Structure 1
């Protein structure tokens, strides 16, 4: 494979800066480094092709290099038009990985990158949001027999996978990495919580303390966003459709109310539901002057941009990644990063130490699928607990933390029903 000749990137001349970024995250991803050492010895992907669609920045690039170290021929593309970093793409190409990705491509070009990635005829895939799986099951069904299985990164992708599975149409096994303990407890909560506010703060350069933040959705990502907003000194309102999560938000000390009411109070809005139109026409109509809207869900459908623009009398870009919408009554509403993932489209995504655990899960989940795909069958499966726990143990070792082990008597006690 001639990665330079076959890739579609912005500029190979950007590679030096990309290498620096990848080197930096490598120094802060000890779990993935340990897995890489094993992969280099065992070559679990020798002779196989792996296609990856993830947010294409430095941490993702290092995952691709770890998979490559395991013997795979790797092709990678982005999973969001605004999260791709062109210098990182160039560095990967120099390292022999085929890349089809550019920052902010036109929609048709973005789609072509996904198609080209699949046209390499992969044996295994890593997906983020379900685009590769969806295309394989619709437009590229001729490639399905080649695919042994794969792993899915995020909530949105798992929803799409389970819909396929429920209809009996899923054609290969997929591991729901997002549902692993070492993913949602740390990546979704602490990673999203920190990176969302990093993206908002660096984009707006405005204070958070004393203001009201409306967090839409109180899953693990929403919990992290709300917790960090509270830490920054904000008053936090949570909106939910799930009664149990609403009670949890209330018990965590946050106000809970419908969006129709919360829209009147918010200075900042962060959507993290995975659903569409959670902020829409009737909400824009009652928002404060200067309200700032952002999204941390996978697709740019949570804030209804069509209705926002239809209500506005003027629109302009007032700062990088900030669009201003002038309402008929003079109010101004601001949308960050075109309603795309604010932590990646307007920031660098989750911290390296957090993604170390998530991408370690991706690597071992892919290895597991490759070993067991014939026995697993065509279904969505959770990360086996022993793999989940092994990543946590690697993390503890990297931190220099030791924990207790059960004695033989304790094990016997827990496994017995006799007092």
Structure 2
């Protein structure tokens, strides 16, 4: 495979800087390094093709190299137009991985890259947001027959998969990596919590302390964003549709109110719901002058850009990744990173140590699907608990942390109904 001639990337001259970035994260991903050692010996993907669609930055690149080390022919594309890093793409091509991705392609190019990735006829898939799976199950069903299964990274993609499964249309098994303990407890909470504010802070260069932050959605990602906002000294308001999560936010010390009321108070807004039109015209109408809007959900539909444009007399880019909208009454609101994932479109994504666990789960889940695809059926399934625990144990060992183990007497006590 001549990956240079077969790939679509911006500039191969950028490869050196990409290699430096990948080498840096490799040094901080001990769990994935351990999985790589195992894969090199066992070759679980020998002779197979793997297609990957993820946010194409250094940590993702290292996951692709780990899968490649397991014997796979790997093709990778981006899962978001603004999170692809061109130097990473060039470095991967030099490492023998086929790449179809550029930073900020137009919608037609983005779609073309997804389709070209699928036209390699993969046996296994890693997806983020469900774009590859959606194309396979709609316009390119001719590419379905060889696929054994795969793994999905995020909430949005799992929602799409479960909709397919509910309609009886899912054609192969997919592991819901997002629902694993070592994913949502750490990646969604601590990873999103830190990386969202990394993106906002480096993009705006404004203080958070003393400001009011509105967090839409109090799932694990929302919890992390709210927790970090509080740590930065902000007053935090949470908006929710789930009464249980709303009570949880209240008990965690945050104000809870509907978005229409919260819109009057917010200096910063972060949407983390996975749904559309979370902030729209009725909310723009009551916002403070200078409000800053951002999204940390997978697709750029949470902040309604159609409404925002319709209500504005003008717009302009005032700083990298900041667009200013002047409303008809003269108020200004600012949208970060085109309403796309602020932590990736305006930042480098989650810390390497966090993605170490998530991508370890992706790698071992893919190997599990490859071993068991004939037995597990065409459904969305959870990461096997023993794999979840294995990744956590590897992490503890990398941190040189030991924990207790049950004695035989303690095990018997827990399994008995007699004292």
TM-score (norm 2): 1.00
Q: Which runs of 4+ in 1 moved over 2 A?
A: none
Q: Kindly report which structure 2 residues correspond to 1:352-371, keeping only aligned pairs within 5 A, or say none.
A: 352-371=352-371
| Aligned equivalent of 1:158 | 158
Task: Name the structure 1 match of 2:57.
Answer: 57
Q: CA deviation at 1:143?
A: 1.3
1:409 corresponding residue in structure 2: 409
Structure 1 residue 255: Cα displacement: 0.1
- Give the corresponding residue for 2:323: 323
Unpaired segments ≥5 residues, structure 1: none
1:20-419 correspondence to structure 2 within 5 Å: 20-419=20-419
Shift in Å at residue 418 of structure 1?
2.0
Any idea what the Cα deviations from partners look like across 1:262-299, whole Å, max 9, x if unmatched?
00000000000000000000000000000000000000
Aligned mates of 2:45, 2:193 — CA distance in 1: 34
Alignment partners' CA distance in 1, 2:337 and 2:35? 35
Q: CA deviation at 1:378?
A: 0.1
Root-mean-square deviation (CA, aligned residues, Å) is 0.3
Q: Secondary structure at the match of 1:74?
A: strand
Would you say how many aligned residue pairs link Structure 1 and Structure 2?
Answer: 419
2: CA distance, partners of 1:260 / 1:182: 35
Distance in 1, matches of 2:215 and 2:223, equals: 9
Give the distance between the partners of 2:202 and 2:69, measured in 1 at CA.
35
1:401 and 1:223 mapped to 2: Cα distance? 26
Query: How far has the Cα of 1:415 moved from its partner?
Result: 1.1
Gaps of 5+ in 2: none
Aligned to 1:2: 2
Q: Could you give the per-residue CA deviations for residues 365-386 of structure 1, whole angstroms, max 9, x where no partner exists?
A: 0000000000000000000000
Q: Distance between the aligned counterparts of 1:98 and 1:144, measured in 2?
A: 20
Q: Under a length normalisation based on structure 1, what TM-score does the superposition of the two structures give?
A: 1.00
2:16 corresponds to 1:16:
yes
- Structure 1 residues 110-165: Cα deviation after superposition (integer angstroms, max 9, x where no partner): 00000000000000000000000000000111111100000000000000000000
Mapped partners of 1:415, 1:47: distance in 2? 45
